[in-house]
């Protein structure tokens, strides 16, 4: 296991930069949102620690969604690279973070039994990928640009779901990444749960021409910020060995 010098407690979370639990325009939140206030919990070992992924076996195509669901050909759609950095609130890299993504295919259909949209499945596309960030906090996926799809009378903009497990339990985050220039972003009820336009903008990947792969793929850049740790941990829980 890697040695780290400091695993301090986390900077308190600013809940005002996240969606509220109950957001009436996203109606599925109505019955699934706690109505009482969250109880503040001062960090203990349970919150500053968290799962590590050094024993996970990664396959070569785990972060390549163009290949990892292919059977007798390649998936249909626009080939793209999604890459970026996982940083903490101090701007420092978060290495060895587990980044997991899932998405619809180019037609806007998920490989999931609950998805009844009439657009077809692609026999060569699964829609899930995973990777660990490197020492600089960088991650990279290759995939197909997902399609938009309807939910009731609304449309979801093209998006990719991101799950990030950083170095501590209290950093755990799930979010969604959108694509620069998509006019569906501004009318989406789920995007609309986010309280400020600046926070919405941070979920929109921008085209990154410097990373285009010649005769192969366009590229998008999406950076993620996790909660930062304070520099020092408090005395008494250093444990018996200090």
For tokens 């999604």, the residue is: 82
148, 207, 228, 230: which one binds other proteins (CB under 8 A): 228
- Using the contact rule CB under 8 A, the part of the chain among 71-79, 134-142, 193-201, 207-215 near other proteins is 193-201
Catalytic entry in 159, 178, 220, 229: 159
Q: Is 117 one of the catalytic residues?
A: no
What's phi and psi for 155, nearest 5 deg? -120, 135
Choose between 113 and 209: whose C-beta lies nearer to other proteins.
113
131 binds other proteins (CB under 8 A): no
94, 97, 170, 205: which one binds other proteins (CB under 8 A): 170
78, 115, 136, 216: which one binds other proteins (CB under 8 A): 115
24, 45, 186, 216: which one binds other proteins (CB under 8 A): 45
Contacting residues for 130 by C-beta, under 8 A, at least 6 apart: 58, 62, 63, 98, 99, 100, 101
60 binds other proteins (CB under 8 A): no
Angle at 15 between CA 203 and CA 232, to 5 degrees: 100
The Cα 151–Cα 1 span in angstroms is 44
The Cα 38–Cα 149 span in angstroms is 34
Choose between 62 and 122: whose C-beta lies nearer to other proteins.
62
Choose between 154 and 212: whose C-beta lies nearer to other proteins.
154
Catalytic entry in 22, 26, 110, 117: 110
């Amino acid at each position: 296991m890697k040695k780290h010098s400091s695993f301090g407690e986390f900077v308190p979370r600013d809940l005002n930069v996240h969606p509220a639990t109950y957001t009436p325009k996203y109606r599925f939140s109505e019955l699934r949102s706690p109505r009482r206030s969250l109880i503040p919990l001062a960090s203990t070992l349970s919150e500053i620690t968290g799962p590590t992924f050094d024993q996970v076996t990664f396959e070569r195509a785990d972060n390549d969604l163009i290949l990892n669901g292919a059977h007798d050909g390649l998936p249909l759609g626009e080939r793209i690279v999604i890459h970026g950095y996982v940083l903490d609130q101090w701007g420092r890299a978060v290495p060895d973070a587990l980044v997991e993504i899932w998405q619809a295919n180019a037609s806007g259909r998920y490989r999931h039994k609950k998805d009844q949209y009439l657009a077809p499945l692609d026999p060569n596309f699964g829609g899930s990928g995973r990777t660990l960030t490197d020492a600089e906090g960088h991650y990279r996926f290759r995939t197909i640009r997902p399609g938009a799809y309807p939910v009731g009378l609304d449309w979801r903009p093209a998006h990719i779901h991101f799950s990030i497990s950083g170095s501590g339990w209290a950093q755990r985050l799930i979010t969604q990444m959108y694509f620069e220039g998509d006019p569906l972003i501004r009318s989406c009820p789920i995007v609309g749960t986010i309280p400020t336009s600046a926070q919405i903008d941070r979920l929109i990947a921008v085209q990154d021409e410097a990373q285009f792969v010649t005769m192969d793929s366009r590229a998008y850049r999406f950076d993620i910020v996790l909660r930062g740790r304070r520099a020092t941990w408090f005395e008494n829980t250093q444990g018996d060995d200090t």
